[in-house]
Amino acid sequence: MSLLALFLLLTLSSAQKPKNYVIMFADDFGYGDSSVFGHPTIRTPSMDRLAREGIRFNRWYSANPVCSPSRAALMTGRLSARTGMSRCMPTGGDGVFNPPSIGGLPDNETTIAELLKKKGFATQIVGKWHLGINEFNSTDCVHCPLQHGFDHYLGLPFSNSEQCADEDNPLRCFLYENNTLIEQPTDYTNISFRLLNRALEFMTENKDGPFFLYYPFLHTHIQLFASKMFLNTSRRGFFGDNAEEMDYCIGEVLDHLVSLGIDKDTLVFFTSDNGPWLQKNVSGGSSGLLRGGKFQTWNGGIMEPSFAWWPGTITAGRMSMELTNSMDIMATIADFEETTPPNPLDGKSIKSILLDETAKTPHEFMFHYCGCHLMAVTHGAYKAHYITQDVLVTNCMGDGVQTHDPPLLFDSLRDPSEKYPLTEAMDTNYSSVLATIEAAVKEHKANLNPAPSQQNRGENKDLQPCCNPPHCCCGPACHKVIE
């Protein structure tokens, strides 16, 4: 290749950028819950399409095995321990915001939406937020998406379970539009299509771009639901109905981008917040061959089914074994937009991986947290576990949690199920790998600078949206402070 041709190739590559971005984010969807990742009875043709027409990531990690801290990390590109979006208590806690929770995503954190809004993008979220709504002495939605860079919001501020529920109505949740509560309880018979239609309308309204659509699904979190179109249609049962409805929505988004003629201008990501809720048995998902699930930093809790789709730019049908994670999305978008976020990122740009089949991971180490507790570290093929949990544990720390000194070391490429801990006799690199990881952990902790936990601030049920007393509580007698 001549120098001129090489120069032109590099120039074109550096100028190549999306006009629009779409992030679709599943809830408690496991590594083994799609047909493309091997499930025998769940039909996911849209995910099959993402893999067929885009790139499938086989070693993509979530930043946390629990909803709220994982979502904060996605939105900011930063570990939740650094942003204060993790629970930091001796028992760990479940690490999520609930209706009476005080606090939320801090104002000094920059989200993907804020980053892109400053660049002239239209921004919208449809679906689950789960990064707080209330603040002390305020019933305003002060931590809602509009305060973090989104122009419009339609969705649920929490998971579709437990809030204001009773035995006859297990799905009594809060539907918000912008900062206003518009429906209690939420009507789940058509919620998926209300959210989908708003997403499609937003893309139509902004087809000339640029736009950013964040579509965090309510699927496949407990309590399960399905519209009439999908109810009792999956061989996997109710969970399968729910998963296949989500897959349908993914396909509608892709089809709509094509119909608008902007598919080649739009970079789409799909991933999940954490692994499957194994404690729910058949009502929960599957981590496939991986060990563990939600609440745990075994691979099954944090390794997620993930894809990127950008027709005409990403080579179709690629499969990547490079280390990647959800925080990389923020870093990648910032790289494409040639802008630097004000806060240092834990994610790293994977722009080169998207554009170049030979590119390698930018991650030498990946630090895996549950809440604000460092549990494990991945380094190349190796993964060292400092703290592990039994399969039924739903806390980061406490009963059923074991500390390991030295850490358990696995070869995640040869043993992705993490069944066989290495020893010095089994692997000649054992001692040197542990020493390298230990040095990296020491440096990482020295530079972490964790923020005060937003989730340790307590609850005030006076502030929660109140739907159906006595199933929710309002007044001074309901105040509770977590100690």
Q: Within this chain, do residues 47 and 149 fall inside the same structural domain, yes or no?
A: yes
| Model pLDDT, residue 461 | 73
Residue where a domain stops, chosen among 355, 378, 397: 355
- CATH code for the domain of 439: 3.30.1120.10
pLDDT of residue 174: 80
Looking at residue 395, its pLDDT comes to: 76
Confirm if 66 and 72 have CB atoms less than 8 A apart. Answer: no
Provide the CATH number for the domain around residue 330: 3.40.720.10
- Domain identity same for 100 and 233: yes
Residue 12 confidence (pLDDT): 43
* Contact partners, residue 311, CB within 8 Å, separation at least 6: 53, 54, 263, 264
Question: 155 and 125 share a domain?
Answer: yes
Collect contacts of 411-414 with beta carbons under 8 A, ≥24 apart.
411/381, 411/382, 412/59, 412/299, 412/378, 412/381, 412/382, 412/383, 413/321, 413/381, 414/381
Amino acid at 302: I
pLDDT of residue 107: 93
Number of domains within the chain: 2
Note down the domain range covering 380. Answer: 366-450
Structure tokens that stand for 69 in this block:
């801290």
The single-letter code of the amino acid at 15 is A
Based on the fold, state whether residues 281 and 240 are members of the same structural domain. Answer: yes
317 and 443 fall within a common domain? no
pTM: 0.93
Residues 141 and 260 in one domain: yes
466: in domain: no
Digitized pLDDT (tens) for each residue of the chain, 483 residues in all = 555 545 444 444 445 899 999 999 999 999 999 999 999 999 999 999 999 999 999 999 999 999 999 999 999 999 999 999 988 766 656 678 888 888 899 999 999 999 999 999 999 999 999 999 888 766 678 899 999 999 999 999 988 865 555 555 555 678 889 988 787 777 888 999 999 999 999 999 999 989 999 999 999 998 899 999 999 999 999 999 999 999 999 999 999 999 999 999 999 999 999 999 999 999 999 999 999 999 999 999 999 999 999 999 999 999 999 999 999 999 999 999 999 999 999 999 999 999 999 999 999 999 999 988 899 999 999 999 999 988 777 777 777 889 999 999 999 999 999 999 999 999 999 999 999 999 999 999 999 998 988 988 888 777 777 655 544 444 444 333 333
CB atoms within 10 A of CB 234: 19
In a domain, 456, yes or no: no
The set of catalytic residues is 67, 130
